Structure 1
Amino acid sequence: MKRIIAGIACCMLFGQFAQSQSVYSFQGLGSLNHQGMPNNVAQGEVGIGSPTIWHINSQNPANLIYNTFSTFQLGLMVDQRSFSGNDISGEGISGSATDGGLRFLGYSFPIMPGKWSSSFGILPYSSVNYNTFSDTDVPGTNGETKQRSDNRGEGGLTSLFWSNGFKIKDNFNVGIKASYVFGSISKESTIILYEDRRILVDGDSIDVQIQVANPVQYSQLQSYSDFNFLFGMSYRHKITDERFLNFGAVFSPKSPMNGNSELTLVRLSSSGSELGVPVDVGSRKIEFDLPRMVGFGASYQKLNHYTIGADFEFSGWSNAGSPETLYNNSFKIAVGGEFTPDYDNINTYWKRVKYAGGFNYQKLPYIVNDQALIDFGINFGASLPVSGFSSLDLAFKWGQLGKSSNGLIKETYYKIVIGTTMNDRWFIKRKYD
């Protein structure tokens, strides 16, 4: 219980989950986050068909049945990104950003060991964090008047989940994960109208930009909250006492996210200060449909020695999202595994370490300039044993999102994850005092 309280205190200390900055997070609900734990990140983000007794499986609730310990997991993440590309005039664009903070929090425990296990936790579902600029011609002015927009956004959605796994018969398990997804997204656009003019200064002709109207700032606040469900199953085929083939599948039906959108505007002075009181344009009810998702996973496992697995996920975004925006169906392929040289070695510490690695390839649902976005990442990490059955979990991901051609921006990013897993046998009635 002290460890649970410590975890809650960490949440209060950090205040909110880490928000990775991405120029593409202006789309939809923002950048969609992986729903696994630090150990899954180290293995290329596999987990649907890869059960483990040492960590919480938040990707397939059916695999919780293998958690015989009371397990608490907490993780921090640092995200560093660099941006490169070209604007509409062909001029190069570059930049970088670094963000970090709390990223993972979960707790699992067996209710009826070997028959029913449960877990709950909180994970960021999506992240919005961007600051972009654009220059366009104002229609009907023959290119003489231009519009400059400074666009900013922040926020995202959070998933508070409760999962349960049940053993139906030997080697066959089912599970259900109920999530309350909630949060708000704030978007702000400052619009300036200007003209390019040539003036004489001390006999020299120079080009200047003349502002033709006071800037206007539009602010939109979108708030969402609703429930989402994910169903899972898993099957383990025994080859020998130590070797197994594992299979898993998950399904999440299409579900609506009900929300509210509020829009305000205010005029600004040339220095950026507000002129008057912001005007409340109004509010309206909005709906964003989370897509139907189907996932499959398989792994080959030698207990306490190694696991090799692969996952495939498909999300039907073409029939989801919001009515105003078109999305692509998306998919994700993840391959990875972990290896422990000698789990029982008491002489060499590094032989008891779990080493992990993998990669993932994902087609995102968002469409930019009539093009699909591709995210590719290479992952690796390790779980360092500490007191008892607990561990310090480290993960690193190098990734690339988008490309620096055809009007897109390429993001090259690095993610560093530092987590802790505390395993113990809690809630056991003492036989002796």
Structure 2
Amino acid sequence: MKRTLTGIACFFILGYYSQAQSVYSFQGLGSLNHQGMPNNIAMGEVGIGSPTLWHINTQNPANLVYNTFSTFQVGLEVDHRNFEGEDLSGSGTDGGLRFLGYAFPIMPGKWSSSFGILPYSSVSYNTFSEGEIPGTNGDVSQISDNKGEGGLTNFFWAHGLKIKKKLLVGVRATYTFGSIEKTSTISVGGVDVPLSNVSYRELESYSDLNFLFGLGYAHKLSDDVMLNFGATFSPKSPMNGQSELSLNRLSNSGRELENIDIGTENIRFDLPSTIGFGMSYEKLNQYKLGFDIESHQWSSAGSDLEEYNNSFKFALGFEWVPDYDNVNSYFKRAKYFAGFNYQKLPYIVNNQALIDFGINFGASLPVSGYSSLDLAFKWGQLGESTNGLIKETYFKVVLGATVNDRWFIKRKYD
């Protein structure tokens, strides 16, 4: 138990610094993270209509009914990105805690619950620009150094119930919290103009509660073939917070000379209403083919300071087990995943919508009993290198562990 708690603490420490670096994370709440587990990520980020016995479904709470074992999941993510634009290029790598969750049956096969944490958004960027101040005939120049870090985290508690033989319902309550710090340092100087450095800092902190509702339906085509359906809905949710503003005058070496506290104000950011639908065709212990469609109404959400597009996502994935009952071949008993996803993001840059495309694959390797070591990989591309935009080509690696066991059951025999 002590080793387990120490390991969990280490994951939390690492997770605190988990930020996926992206030049586009300066907008809104930052880069929005997929709210799924490694098996979902590996399967193209499919999960709304794709239930599983062995992993926690964080995309549709109704599918928690399938968790008849006590399931503990934890994992890390590493994100490497290459940036390419007009006359610029670069790269960056970040990583940390990706997920931590626990699910358990209250009435096995009828009612299950889960709780855990997932990163909702991440902010990590550092942009630099240099140019002449208009009207000075090139005698005065300005250098801007913009940095941002932080993000929001979701702590969720969900329940899934079977209300009829084939119909499932679920609800997830999520407490979203975190802070985002943005700093802009401007240096102005030139001919007969002494160098002046000013830093503007804004710290936004948010915390509030939001809900997700889910439905699930399983239609049995034969003894080992299932057709699964799922749907989710989340209403528009206001998220309240505070913004702290300050202005710093700096020396040429970067030392703070004067700090001016501009003040604190209450702010609000509306999370969008969302609708999702998923379906999967499954032959038990052999293969599964599924897809998800999601729509997020960002045009009526966000803040009054920025304009957003409605976002849309399509995901398609495949799961395959070569030979589930083969006791002689380890890799034939493993699960293999592949898929892709296409997403129109809510953020607008240079009057253009951002498109994110990814190809996913991975595996779930059996360890002991019903537990597994889970691997997921994603190659993706965000934005483009023309029209004043920056193209981000990234590769994500997710390493997770799943422990399935029958906990909290009183032994009948010693």
TM-score (norm 2): 0.97
SS at match of 2:196: coil
What corresponds to 2:71 in structure 1?
71
CA distance in 2, matches of 1:415, 1:327: 26
What corresponds to 1:207 in structure 2?
none
Q: 2:251 aligns with which of 262, 269, 283?
A: 269
What corresponds to 2:22 in structure 1?
22
Q: 1:157 aligns with which of 145, 152, 165?
A: 152
Aligned length: 414
What corresponds to 1:48 in structure 2?
48
Using the TM superposition, give the Cα deviation of residue 4 of structure 1 relative to its aligned residue in structure 2, in angstroms. Answer: 6.2
What corresponds to 1:206 in structure 2?
none
CA distance in 2, matches of 1:327, 1:5: 42
1:181-192 matches, within 5 Å, as 181-192=176-187
1:173-322 matches, within 5 Å, as 173-195=168-190, 212-276=194-258, 278-322=259-303
Larger Rg: 1
Using the TM superposition, give the Cα deviation of residue 136 of structure 1 relative to its aligned residue in structure 2, in angstroms. Answer: 4.9
Check conservation: 1:153, 1:185, Cα contact below 8 A.
yes
Check conservation: 1:29, 1:126, Cα contact below 8 A.
yes
CA distance in 2, matches of 1:119, 1:111: 10
Check conservation: 2:140, 2:193, Cα contact below 8 A.
no
1:339-418 matches, within 5 Å, as 339-418=320-399
Using the TM superposition, give the Cα deviation of residue 273 of structure 1 relative to its aligned residue in structure 2, in angstroms. Answer: 1.4
Kindly tell me: are residues 17 and 336 of structure 1, through their superposed partners in 2, closer, same or farther at Cα, counting changes over 3 Å?
farther
- Contiguous gaps of at least 5 residues in structure 1: 87-91, 198-209
Using the TM superposition, give the Cα deviation of residue 144 of structure 1 relative to its aligned residue in structure 2, in angstroms. Answer: 5.0
SS at match of 2:377: strand
Aligned-CA RMSD value: 1.5
Kindly tell me: are residues 305 and 6 of structure 1, through their superposed partners in 2, closer, same or farther at Cα, counting changes over 3 Å?
farther
SS at match of 1:102: strand
CA distance in 2, matches of 1:341, 1:116: 31
Using the TM superposition, give the Cα deviation of residue 102 of structure 1 relative to its aligned residue in structure 2, in angstroms. Answer: 1.3
CA deviations over 1:42-79 (Å, ceiling 9, x no partner): 10100000000010000000000011110000111110
CA deviations over 1:242-297 (Å, ceiling 9, x no partner): 10000000000000110000011111112211113x11011100000000000000
Structure 1 runs, 4 residues or longer, greater than 6 Å off:
1-4
CA deviations over 1:354-390 (Å, ceiling 9, x no partner): 0000000000000001100000000000001011100
Using the TM superposition, give the Cα deviation of residue 11 of structure 1 relative to its aligned residue in structure 2, in angstroms. Answer: 3.0
The answer to whether the aligner puts 1:332 opposite 2:327 as a matched pair is: no
Check conservation: 1:265, 1:281, Cα contact below 8 A.
yes
What corresponds to 1:204 in structure 2?
none
Q: 1:419 aligns with which of 381, 394, 400?
A: 400
SS at match of 1:372: strand
CA distance in 2, matches of 1:169, 1:4: 38
Check conservation: 1:183, 1:224, Cα contact below 8 A.
yes
- Contiguous gaps of at least 5 residues in structure 2: none
Match for 1:51: what amino acid? P
% identity of equivalent residues: 69
CA distance in 1, matches of 2:12, 2:339: 33
Check conservation: 2:228, 2:281, Cα contact below 8 A.
yes
Check conservation: 1:132, 1:151, Cα contact below 8 A.
yes
CA distance in 1, matches of 2:125, 2:340: 26
Check conservation: 1:4, 1:72, Cα contact below 8 A.
no
Check conservation: 1:396, 1:416, Cα contact below 8 A.
yes
Kindly tell me: are residues 114 and 2 of structure 1, through their superposed partners in 2, closer, same or farther at Cα, counting changes over 3 Å?
farther
Check conservation: 2:173, 2:212, Cα contact below 8 A.
yes
The answer to whether the aligner puts 1:116 opposite 2:111 as a matched pair is: yes
